[in-house]
Amino acid sequence: MARGESGKKVARAARLGGTGGTGERKAFGYPVALALVVILGVSLVSWSRVTREASAAPRVGDHWHSIYDIYVCDTYRAKILNENDPNGIHTHADGLLHIHPFNSEASGEKANIGEFVGSYGGFINDTSLQLDTGEIITEGEDCGGQPTVLKIARFDSQDRDRDPEIITEDLANVRFLRNFEAFTIAFVPADVDPPLPRPERFTFLESVDPRAIDSGNEPVETTTTTLAE
């Protein structure tokens, strides 16, 4: 065989070998690049969620006031007297919720009923509530011949004629969404809506923050306040 033809075969084999190597590198590089894109995307979503939760109201430094009451069958129960406040959501034995987060454990999505109840050493789930006295109230007790169901009603303290939001699931995570809300934690029959908190609590809310009650006005925007406790 001529030397020229032999040289051409060697060159052709080298080209084919080079092409195969490049193909293998491309085949290997694509899934690696795809994996990196997925990892980056997941990281960005996680970062975005953490940032959004951290910036959601109420934020550290906000100071809100809302009303709560506890109602069982047909009777309002005593106020929570325990004023313990590990993270910035508590009561002063006044029937009000003082919501001023100290840290991320009580801000944004974590500013909720469960955080308040836990602050005094109690708990709430979808069937039971523990008070600061240690008493545990559980749904199913008789109320006029019907079993009770645990519900939370969210009212607008500035428009008490507005129908409340009635919540029956994931009660510990019921969030505080704005200043001047009102909540009734109630054990009532399934076909009964929780009543408004007691009128005197609305009056007291007004004395704590005179902007709170002004019937006929638009709801007050969520803002940071610097009211003294």
The DSSP code for 4 is: H
The Cα 125–Cα 169 span in angstroms is 8
The Cα 38–Cα 32 span in angstroms is 10
C-alpha of 134 from chain center: 25
pLDDT per position in the chain (229 positions), as tens? 555 555 555 556 555 555 555 555 555 566 666 767 666 655 554 444 444 444 589 999 999 999 999 999 999 999 999 999 999 999 999 999 999 999 999 999 999 999 999 999 999 999 999 999 999 999 999 999 999 999 999 999 989 999 999 999 999 999 999 999 999 999 999 999 999 999 999 999 988 866 665 433 343 343 333 333 3
The Cα 206–Cα 200 span in angstroms is 10
What's the pTM value of the predicted model, to 2 decimals? 0.71
Nearest to 53, CA basis, from 109, 134, 130? 109
Q: Is the peptide bond before 86 cis (omega within 30 degrees of 0)?
A: no
Residue 218's pLDDT is: 41
